Amino acid sequence: MMRLFLRKLILTFTILNVAVSVQADVIIKGTIVHNVANLDIKNICFEVYQDYISPQVNQSKKILCSVDSKGYFSTTIKGYKNAFYIGTYFVSSTNKEVFALDNQVLHKPFLFEDNDSLNITINLRGKWIQFKGKGSERLNCQFQMESQSISEGGLARVRDLGNKENFYDANALESKLLDQLWVSKLTILQSYKNNFSPYIYNRVYLDSWYYQKYSHLNSLLSTYALTYPIRNKGIIDFVKTKYSNDLQIPEGINPSSEMLGQYIRYLYKSNYLKLIIGKFDLGNLTYNVSMLELFQKIKNNYSGPTRDYLFLTFFLTGGKYQNDTLAFLEEAKKLITLTAVKDELAMWLNRLNTFDKQNFTLTDIDGKTVSLNNLKGKVLVLDFWFLGCSGCLKMSPYLEKVQNYFENRDVVFVSINTDDLPRFKLGLEDGGYTNPNQLLLYTSGLVRQHPLLEYFKIYDFPTLIVIKKNGEAVSSRAPDPRLDNGLALKKMIESAF
């Protein structure tokens, strides 16, 4: 009887172990070689994301993996589902980010699958990464695709045309260079096609294609979104020529809702930009886009999962109170069919409403710790920037005008640098990133891994966030004062009293 019981017990554990192994284990081993600069790399941090549709909501899982004296590392990661994303960065012995490779490529989350078993070689001298093992061809393909870039000569010509105020031709040339870049990426992807399932091929295709398109639209908006007529006319004429209609999902690509992340981001940015263009047609030289117009455009022009996720992006990007976006929340809930989208909206609202329960601390230039909780009773305008951020430099004068507007009122403008201490000091010496009377802080040596940036899912810069006097967050993103000379940002700050 006891023998039968033990046999059943062993069988039960065997079944459980098989079930666990099937779930989602990803094994990652590797070596950092040719560290000729003797960079201080103590750990590798793997950031695991469920999807790319709502990065402001989805919590990433951070897996800290130690690197020994010979550069060896090893870890096991449990993923979310069949396919998910992992981004990577290096961390020093003092918990600072180490910039060892092209960080734009390194940080970009790549697509992994359950049961991947990888051996990775990271060559710091040659600045390349090679993957071997189960899943390696998918990772090598993505790394090779995202390592492609526009030539320096091409970029120099784009800048030259812009400096000569020939903004239409500058944008047209950049677009042409990006189309050529996509041909290079697609050639690499197609060379791997026989090694991928249709699902993986389509997903890698959509991620890369629409991320590039989204980035270009974002560049158009941020680089030329200034009330400067020559630039405005250049961008208007170009967008009307290039983006008069939505780019369609390429023929032969049949995405499921979980593949729509970059496509949704592109569609949202495209519709926002086209509304701006319409404003200029009416002779309005500001970028004050009505949230009602954007909501109606999404509601009337899209359907199904695409509309559901566009609504989600509308609230996450528009902020909690920006131009009264919450006025449309109940109507959107009635139209949204996907339970997952409703749940993510609820999670996002909860994170904003419970910000006053958090206790985030930062550090000033003298090493003094400052708790945001101790600033309750005043409206806070958090301005996140880093040394070398061109958008941060361009936004600073506009933010100063808003700051002067609220002079002698209970508003504290908090400048938060996301670099380490030496770069923070260099940014202050430069003088272009900050304004007089701002509270100057940095992320205590945690760089962009500070819990405050993780809480608000801050990946793009500059980013503004407004905190109410009672300590609650007004928005996950505040309006950019460059777009309308600060009108919408002033309105949001007024709502925070």
The whole-angstrom separation of Cα 401 and Cα 236 is: 27
Examine the pLDDT at 245 and tell me if it is beyond 60. Answer: yes
Examine the pLDDT at 2 and tell me if it is beyond 60. Answer: no
Other Cβ atoms less than 10 A from the Cβ of 217: the count is 22
CA dihedral of residues 429, 433, 435, 441 (deg, nearest 10):
-80
pLDDT (0 to 100) of residue 323: 60
Examine the pLDDT at 270 and tell me if it is beyond 90. Answer: no
Tell me what the mean pLDDT of segment 350-355 comes to.
85
In sequence order, which residues have a C-beta less than 8 Å from that of residue 83 and are 6 or more positions away?
111, 112, 113, 114, 199, 200, 203, 258
Question: H helices of 251-354, where?
Answer: 261-281, 291-301, 304-318, 329-335, 339-353
Contact indicator for 489, 478 with CB cutoff of 8 Å? yes
pLDDT (0 to 100) of residue 4: 39
Examine the pLDDT at 79 and tell me if it is beyond 80. Answer: no
Task: Please report, rounded to a whole number, the percentage of residues in the chain having pLDDT higher than 90.
Answer: 40
Angle between helices 339-353 and 304-318 (to 10 degrees): 10
Q: How confident is the model at residue 252 (pLDDT cuts 50, 70, 90)?
A: confident
Examine the pLDDT at 232 and tell me if it is beyond 50. Answer: yes
Contact indicator for 265, 284 with CB cutoff of 8 Å? no
Q: Helix (H, G, I), strand (E, B), or coil: what is residue 412?
A: strand
Say if strands 117-123 and 361-363 run parallel, antiparallel, or are unpaired.
Answer: unpaired
**The two three-digit tokens of residue 283, written as one number:** 């002779």
In sequence order, which residues have a C-beta less than 8 Å from that of residue 423 and are 6 or more positions away?
386, 387, 417
Contact indicator for 440, 415 with CB cutoff of 8 Å? yes
The whole-angstrom separation of Cα 185 and Cα 137 is: 15
In sequence order, which residues have a C-beta less than 8 Å from that of residue 115 and are 6 or more positions away?
22, 24, 25, 26, 134, 135
The whole-angstrom separation of Cα 466 and Cα 494 is: 10
Contact indicator for 355, 471 with CB cutoff of 8 Å? yes
Per DSSP, 194 falls in state G
Closest of 280, 164, 178 to residue 227, by C-alpha: 280
Q: What share of the chain is helix, strand, coil (3-state, %, to 5)?
A: 50, 20, 30
pLDDT (0 to 100) of residue 478: 86
pLDDT (0 to 100) of residue 99: 76
Closest of 415, 422, 423, 420 to residue 388, by C-alpha: 423
Q: What is the tens place of the pLDDT at every residue in 278-312?
A: 766 655 555 556 788 889 999 999 998 889 989 98
pLDDT (0 to 100) of residue 460: 78
Residue count of the chain, please give it: 497
For the entire predicted model, the pTM comes to 0.76
Residue 318 or residue 495, greater confidence: 495
Examine the pLDDT at 18 and tell me if it is beyond 60. Answer: no
Strand order in the sheet with 128-134: 72-78, 25-33, 117-123, 128-134
The whole-angstrom separation of Cα 251 and Cα 291 is: 32
* Mean predicted lDDT score pLDDT of the chain: 84
pLDDT (0 to 100) of residue 11: 37
**The two three-digit tokens of residue 334, written as one number:** 């009635």
Q: How confident is the model at residue 389 (pLDDT cuts 50, 70, 90)?
A: confident
Say if strands 83-91 and 97-98 run parallel, antiparallel, or are unpaired.
Answer: antiparallel
Examine the pLDDT at 444 and tell me if it is beyond 70. Answer: yes
Low-confidence winner among 44-48, 96-100, 212-216, 384-388 (lowest mean pLDDT)? 96-100
In the block, residue with structure tokens 């505040």:
478
pLDDT (0 to 100) of residue 58: 59
In the block, residue with structure tokens 């909780």:
373
Other Cβ atoms less than 10 A from the Cβ of 383: the count is 25
Closest of 476, 207, 454, 452 to residue 317, by C-alpha: 476
In the block, residue with structure tokens 């339970």:
339
Examine the pLDDT at 20 and tell me if it is beyond 60. Answer: no
**The two three-digit tokens of residue 198, written as one number:** 């249709």
Q: What is the tens place of the pLDDT at every residue in 303-336?
A: 988 899 899 888 887 776 666 777 888 999 999 9
Tell me what the mean pLDDT of segment 401-412 comes to.
95
Q: What is the tens place of the pLDDT at every residue in 147-205?
A: 899 999 999 999 899 888 888 898 899 999 999 999 999 999 999 999 999 999 999 99
pLDDT (0 to 100) of residue 104: 60
The whole-angstrom separation of Cα 349 and Cα 475 is: 9
pLDDT (0 to 100) of residue 103: 57
pLDDT (0 to 100) of residue 10: 32
Tell me what the mean pLDDT of segment 453-477 comes to.
86
Looking at the DSSP bridge assignments, the partners of residue 48 are 61, 86
Examine the pLDDT at 19 and tell me if it is beyond 70. Answer: no
Query: From its phi and psi, is residue 3 left (phi > 0), alpha (psi between -120 and 50) or beta?
Result: alpha
Which helix (H) or strand (E) element contains residue 249?
none
